[in-house]
Amino acid sequence: MHVRQARPGDAAAACEVLRRSITELCSADHHNDEKFLADWLANKTVKNVEAWIADPANFVCVAEENGKTAGVAAMTTSGRILLNYVSPDCRFRGISKMLLQRLEQQAVALDLAQCRLESTKTAEVFYRAAGFRDDNALPGKCGTSPCRAMIKDIGGAKAR
C-alpha cells in the first residue's frame, strides 16, 4: 500500500471510490434514502474531483495498491479535513488510517495547530480512536445530514 499526493489523472478512480464508499458503506448515514443519497453524491463528479486536486488551497491524497486506487482523502491548507473514503473492496485494512496520517503529516508540515472535520455517523468511532474529540465551535450539520464536528490538536504553532 502506498499513499501519495493526488494528481489530475487520479480524479476518475478517486471519484469512483468516493461514490462507491458513500453508497455501499455509509448506509448508517443515508439509510438508503434515494433522494438523500443523490444529494450527497451530487458533487462527487470527476470534474469536481479534478478541481479539488488542482485547487492550491487543498491537499488531496490517494492510497494505491497494485496500481488501483484504494482510498482518497482531502484537507484544506487550513487543516479542515474534507473527506476520507476507502473502496468497499479494501475496507478494514488500515487504508483510512494511513490516509488520515498523511493528512496530519501535511498539517504538521504547514505548522497547523489543529485539524478539524465533520464526521458522518459511519466514521465517528474511527475518528475518536484517532484522537479527535467533539468541537463545539462548529455546528453539527453536514449539508442536510447531522454530523459530529470534531477537532484534534496536532502540535503546530499556527492558530486559526
pLDDT single digits (tens) 52-65? 999 999 999 999 99
Q: What CATH number corresponds to the domain at position 44?
A: 3.40.630.30
Question: What residues contact 151, with CB distance under 8 A and at least 6 apart?
Answer: 114, 115, 116, 117, 132, 133, 134, 135, 137
Residue 135 lies inside a defined structural domain of this protein:
no
> Residue 29 belongs to what domain range?
2-112
What letter represents residue 50's amino acid? E
The predicted model scores a pTM of: 0.90
Residue 36 lies inside a defined structural domain of this protein:
yes
Residue 150 lies inside a defined structural domain of this protein:
no
CA 116 – CA 18 distance, rounded (Å): 20
Residue 32 lies inside a defined structural domain of this protein:
yes
pLDDT of residue 50: 97
Give me the residues of the chain with pLDDT under 70, please: 137-146, 156-160
pLDDT of residue 155: 79
Residue 46 lies inside a defined structural domain of this protein:
yes
Structural domains counted in the chain: 1
Question: What pairs with residue 59 in β-bridges?
Answer: 75
pLDDT of residue 157: 65
Residue 28 lies inside a defined structural domain of this protein:
yes
Q: Are strands 80-86 and 114-119 parallel, antiparallel or unpaired?
A: parallel
Residue 8 lies inside a defined structural domain of this protein:
yes
Q: Are strands 80-86 and 68-76 parallel, antiparallel or unpaired?
A: antiparallel
The DSSP call for residue 90 is G
Residue 35 lies inside a defined structural domain of this protein:
yes
Closest CA to 55 of 75, 81, 30: 75
Residue 145 has which C-alpha cell? 445530514
CA 74 – CA 83 distance, rounded (Å): 5
CA 112 – CA 120 distance, rounded (Å): 24
pLDDT of residue 29: 82
E strand residue ranges, the chain? 2-5, 58-65, 68-76, 80-86, 114-119, 133-134, 141-142, 145-146, 148-153
pLDDT of residue 160: 45
Q: Which stretches of 26-110 are DSSP H helices?
A: 27-30, 34-41, 46-54, 95-109
Q: Are strands 68-76 and 114-119 parallel, antiparallel or unpaired?
A: unpaired
